[in-house]
Amino acid sequence: MKLDLKVMECVPNVSEGRDLGKVGELADLLRASPGISLLHVTSDADHNRSVFTCLGEPRALLSAATAFCARAFELIDMRQHTGCHPRMGAVDVVPFVPLGGTTMVEAVAVAHELGEAVGAMGVPVYFYEEAALQEERRNLADVRRGEYECLPERANGCGPVPDAGPHDFNPRSGACLIGARRPLIAFNVNLGTADVTVAQTIARTIRESSGGMPAVKALGVELKELGIVQVSMNLVDYRRTGMHQVLEAIRREAARFGVPVLESELIGLLPLEAVEDSLRHCLQMREFDSSRIIEAHLLRSSSSPESSR
pLDDT digit string (tens) for the chain, length 309 residues? 445 678 999 999 999 999 999 999 999 999 999 999 999 999 999 999 999 999 999 999 999 999 999 999 999 999 999 999 999 999 999 999 999 889 999 999 999 999 999 999 999 999 999 999 999 999 999 999 999 999 999 999 888 999 999 999 999 999 999 999 999 999 999 999 999 999 999 999 999 999 999 999 999 999 999 999 999 999 999 999 999 999 999 999 999 999 999 999 999 888 888 888 888 887 787 777 777 777 676 666 555 544 333
Q: By C-alpha distance, which of 91, 86, 94 is closest to 170?
A: 91
Burial of residue 257, with CB atoms counted within 10 A of its CB: 0-12 exposed, 13-18 middle, 19 or more buried: middle
Inter-CA distances, 5 with 2, 104, 190, 296, 302, Å: 9, 14, 37, 15, 12
- Pairing status of strand 49-56 against strand 6-10: antiparallel
* Under 8 Å between Cβ of 73 and 19: no
Q: Is 85 a catalytic residue?
A: yes
Q: Please tell me the CATH superfamily of domain 185-270, with its number.
A: Formiminotransferase, C-terminal subdomain (3.30.70.670)
Q: Where are the domains of the chain?
A: 6-180, 185-270
Looking at residue 298, its pLDDT comes to 66
- Pairing status of strand 125-129 against strand 185-191: unpaired
| Catalytic position from the list 40, 47, 81, 85 | 85
Q: By C-alpha distance, which of 73, 280, 48, 26 is closest to 172?
A: 73
The CATH architecture to which 6-180 belongs is 2-Layer Sandwich (3.30)
* Under 8 Å between Cβ of 268 and 257: no
